[in-house]
């Protein structure tokens, strides 16, 4: 739902959509957090009570929403939360071969058998959501092992996707990230947040946006060495190989035509 509000904000510039997404994410992170375990979440909330361990699709959907929210706010807190939750999923939901993820975490004792959900049902498959999350966080952090994990996940269901495409819609969205590699947009400079507003008005599929307003985000490879002076710049990159930076949205749109 938060990702939906964020998409609506990008399309309409309605600030209420952005505020709703931010308010809801902050509520989820505060209320559903299991204080007895780092990054662990609960699944349900009613009458001020949270209970039952969160499942794979809970974590996967929240990671997706956190990345989406960062791209409209520029607040690195949301990326750090997404990275933390991603680590938790890998540590607690991975199968024995480090390919697909189980639906439930390893220390949940109230179920007789741990299964894996690969098909989309009423909601997208948690594994399919994690495919896109791993690809994006790999680019954000420079951790190639995450991309390799995503590659294994995709190849393990490739034949099933071809045979039964209507059951693998979210996987097919992930497949587009292989067919049309992700555009990496870095916006750096004191006016980066203003440029971010304009960049978000331009629809472009398979894109990651990162922002640095003060030159402090050196731990993220897409942003490293791109904050030069007071002039704000937009970099279009693939695999961290960037074209000449531009300073206007008109130039940015022109560059997009070559990607």
User: Taking the domains of the chain in order of start, what are their residue ranges?
Assistant: 2-179, 183-259
C-alpha closest to that of 169 among 133, 95, 94, 118: 118
- Long-range residue pairs from 225-234, CB within 8 A, at least 24 positions apart, any chain: 226/186, 226/188, 227/188, 227/189, 228/188, 230/189, 230/190, 231/189, 232/187, 232/188, 232/189, 232/190, 232/191, 232/192, 232/194, 232/195, 233/187, 233/188, 233/189, 234/185, 234/186, 234/187, 234/195, 234/199
The topology under which CATH files domain 2-179 is: Glycosyltransferase (1.50.10)
- For 198-255, write each residue's pLDDT tens digit: 999 999 888 999 999 998 888 899 999 999 887 899 999 999 999 999 999 999 999 9
pLDDT at 34 over 90: no
> Alpha helices, DSSP H only, in the chain?
2-12, 15-31, 56-73, 76-93, 126-141, 144-163, 169-179, 192-200, 249-256
For 237, the enclosing helix (H) or strand (E) is strand 233-238
Q: Which residues pair with 94 in a beta bridge?
A: 101
**How far apart (Å, rounded) are the C-alpha atoms in residues 42 and 166?**
31
- For 93-131, write each residue's pLDDT tens digit: 999 888 999 999 988 777 777 888 899 988 899 999 999
| Residues 123 and 57: beta-carbon distance below 8 Å | yes
For residues 75-100, give the mean pLDDT: 94
Radius of gyration from C-alpha coordinates of the chain: 19
DSSP-derived 3-state class of residue 209: strand
Q: Which pLDDT belongs to residue 217?
A: 86
| Strand 207-212 versus strand 183-188 pairing type | parallel
Give the global pTM: 0.94
Per-residue pLDDT band at 150 (split at 50, 70, 90): very high
């Amino acid at each position: 739902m938060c990702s939906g509000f964020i998409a609506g904000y990008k399309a309409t510039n309605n600030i209420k959509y952005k505020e709703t997404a931010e308010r809801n994410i902050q509520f989820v992170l505060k209320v559903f957090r299991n204080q007895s375990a780092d990054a662990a979440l609960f699944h349900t909330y009613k009458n001020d009570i949270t209970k039952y361990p969160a499942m794979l699709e809970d974590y996967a959907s929240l990671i997706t929403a956190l990345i989406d929210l960062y791209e409209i706010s520029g607040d690195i807190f949301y990326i750090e939360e997404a990275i933390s939750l991603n680590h938790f999923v890998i540590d607690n939901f991975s199968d024995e071969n480090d390919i697909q993820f189980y639906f439930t975490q390893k220390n949940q004792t109230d179920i007789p058998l741990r299964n894996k959900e690969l098909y989309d049902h009423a909601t997208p498959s948690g594994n399919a959501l994690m495919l896109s999350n791993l690809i994006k966080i790999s680019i954000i952090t420079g951790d190639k092992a995450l991309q390799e994990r995503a590659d294994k996940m995709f190849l393990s269901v490739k034949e099933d996707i071809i045979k039964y495409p209507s059951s693998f819609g979210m996987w097919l969205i992930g497949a587009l990230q292989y067919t049309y590699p992700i555009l990496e947009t870095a916006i750096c400079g004191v006016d980066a947040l203003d440029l971010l507003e304009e960049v978000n008005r331009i629809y472009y599929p398979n894109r990651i946006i990162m922002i640095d307003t003060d030159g402090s985000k050196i731990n993220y490879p897409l942003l490293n060495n791109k904050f030069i002076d007071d002039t704000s710049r937009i970099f279009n990159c693939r695999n961290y190989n960037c074209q000449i930076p531009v300073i206007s949205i008109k130039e940015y749109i022109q560059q997009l035509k070559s990607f």
